[in-house]
A and B are shown apart, each in its own frame.
Chain A
Amino acid sequence: MVFHRKHILGLEELTAEEIVVILDTAASMKEVSERDVKKVPALKGLTVVNLFFEPSTRTRSSFEIAEKRLSADVLNFTPDQSSVVKGETLLDTARNLEAMGAGIIVIRHSMSGAPWLLARELKSSIINAGDGSHEHPSQALLDLFTIKEIRGDIGGLRVVIVGDIRHSRVARSDIWGFLKLGAEVRVVGPPTLIPREIEDMDVKVYYKLDEALKDADVVIMLRIQKERQESMFFPSLREYSKLHGLSHEKLRQANDKVIVMHPGPINRGVELSSEVADDVNSVILDQVSNGIAVRMAMLYLVASGGRKV
């Protein structure tokens, strides 16, 4: 099957088949990063703008490497050095970038829905690199890719997402992705960090980590987002770590071959102990290298989908 989308905005709107096309394409892309000369000419002549309104090291660098490996021309647009501080609106900024010839705009914004606004108003292809606490499709796709690579299939796996479900766009995209590919999804965290509407998403809600971990195949630890917490949702980091942090002790509840993931950056000793982070079960660094292949696939596919007139 061929991919017909011009934009990749969120996992909620993708079908299971489209997700599989992205993952299969990423599997083929991975080989490019294993070569001595890590570059192919596929997107030669296409300008890609990374429009990041929020700080990001990993995601922006990963997109930039992916773009360069596909030979796109890359422009990094960061608002602190730009007219945004002079009061230009998001849409005007984006229209200016489009007028400069941007074929694809990769956007991260603190406002949920910002990528959809651009997709509606512009002719460029839009890739969502994280919008507010809504979706983070490239992270969820690389999580799915990493697990599929190890386990072969996502269907039937028991996936536990731990921590700040309320503020996490990774959690939301992961939940959609894993459910669509047939996994069982459990969420666990302090009650204050689990939004009520999560129950409408066909996930199992837990408040005790060791119960949620029983026979788990995959554990996704979310980062405690200190910057997104206007008020404290739990008494102290120490208490959080004690109740919801992952240790070897607690991990014994899970399946022997359990895979431990974290979208980064890790707060060592808070979400998970240093031993767990560096353990053989941890695939945190595989996630980072797979992220490049997945983002190459996303860019390649929207560039092709966007060509349809």
Chain B
Amino acid sequence: MDSETIAQTVSRITDEIISTNRDSGELVVVGIRTRGIYLAQRLAEQLKNITGIKPPLGTLDISLYRDDLQIKREWPELKKTDIPFTIDRKTVILVDDVIFTGRTSRAAIEAIMDFGRPSSIQLAVLVDRGHRELPIQADYIGKKIDTNKNEKVRVLLNETDGKDEVLINQE
């Protein structure tokens, strides 16, 4: 995917979010570290352009909720979580760059539940690369990519990498 396709994809996901949630209450957008944050920002911006309302935007670090802390040799560096608004009775749009095993999404859902009781949580991803290990699916998918389990999918974004691109590398 190049920068044009990524931009179109973010627009399409925005439209889908709006049409799915016509009757839902207030939306809030929460990006999962690191690249989910920037995708969440872009989604929130697009939502504002279309609906005129900018949804509250939060940032989530899932390090403290990982299920591999007991076995992982190197723990992830803990960064800030910042959800400075209530999520009670809100529709939370969780945003990540890639969904793979589903374990990050599981951790993110658990973390969100610790912040309150949203009316629903929906998951938006730029890339679904398959190989789920948990019964978790995204509600909004930018692109499904068939991958080998040992391939690496890298999402590059302007904000962190100087350009927008999705790459697949052999390990």
Residues of A within 8 A of B (CB): 1-2, 21, 25, 27-29, 31-32, 35-37, 39-43, 45, 70, 297, 300, 303-304, 307-309
CB A179 to nearest CB in B, in angstroms, measures: 26
Are B81 and A307 interface neighbours, CB within 8 A?
no
Query: B22 near A: Cβ within 8 Å?
Result: no
Contact partner, B73, options A27, A29, A307, Cβ 8 Å: A307
Task: Give residues of chain B (52-110) contacting chain A, Cβ–Cβ below 8 Å.
Answer: 61, 63-65, 69-70, 72-75, 77-82, 110
Residues in A whose Cβ lies below 8 Å from that of B69? 42-43, 303-304
Are B80 and A307 interface neighbours, CB within 8 A?
no
Are A304 and B75 interface neighbours, CB within 8 A?
yes
Give chain B's interface residue range (CB within 8 Å of chain A).
20 to 34
Are B110 and A35 interface neighbours, CB within 8 A?
no
Residues of B within 8 A of A (CB): 61, 63-65, 69-70, 72-75, 77-82, 110-111, 114-116
Interface centre among B77, B78, B115 (most CB of A within 10 A): B78
Enumerate the 6 nearest inter-chain pairs by beta-carbon distance, A residue then B residue, closest first: A304-B75, A40-B64, A42-B64, A28-B78, A28-B80, A25-B78
Q: Given contacts A25-B78, A307-B75, are A40 and B61 in contact (CB under 8 A)?
A: no
Contact partner, B61, options A28, A303, A307, A309, Cβ 8 Å: A28
Are B65 and A41 interface neighbours, CB within 8 A?
yes
The complex places the Cα of A303 from the Cα of B69 at a distance, in Å, of 9
Residues in A whose Cβ lies below 8 Å from that of B61? 28
Please, which residue of chain B has its CB at the minimum distance from the CB of A43?
B69
Are B78 and A29 interface neighbours, CB within 8 A?
yes
Are B74 and A304 interface neighbours, CB within 8 A?
yes
Contact partner, B79, options A28, A35, A36, A40, Cβ 8 Å: A28
Q: Given contacts A40-B65, A41-B64, A307-B73, are A300 and B78 in contact (CB under 8 A)?
A: yes
Q: Given contacts A45-B70, A307-B75, are A39 and B114 in contact (CB under 8 A)?
A: yes
Are B73 and A308 interface neighbours, CB within 8 A?
yes
Interface centre among A21, A25, A39, A307 (most CB of B within 10 A): A307
The complex places the Cα of A270 from the Cα of B38 at a distance, in Å, of 53
The complex places the Cα of A37 from the Cα of B70 at a distance, in Å, of 23
CB A33 to nearest CB in B, in angstroms, measures: 12
Are A36 and B65 interface neighbours, CB within 8 A?
no
The complex places the Cα of A154 from the Cα of B138 at a distance, in Å, of 45
The complex places the Cα of A25 from the Cα of B70 at a distance, in Å, of 19
Residues in A whose Cβ lies below 8 Å from that of B80? 27-28, 31
Please, which residue of chain B has its CB at the minimum distance from the CB of A26?
B78
The complex places the Cα of A41 from the Cα of B64 at a distance, in Å, of 6
Are B77 and A2 interface neighbours, CB within 8 A?
yes
Interface centre among A28, A43, A300, A309 (most CB of B within 10 A): A28
Q: Given contacts A37-B114, A40-B65, A40-B114, are A31 and B73 in contact (CB under 8 A)?
A: no
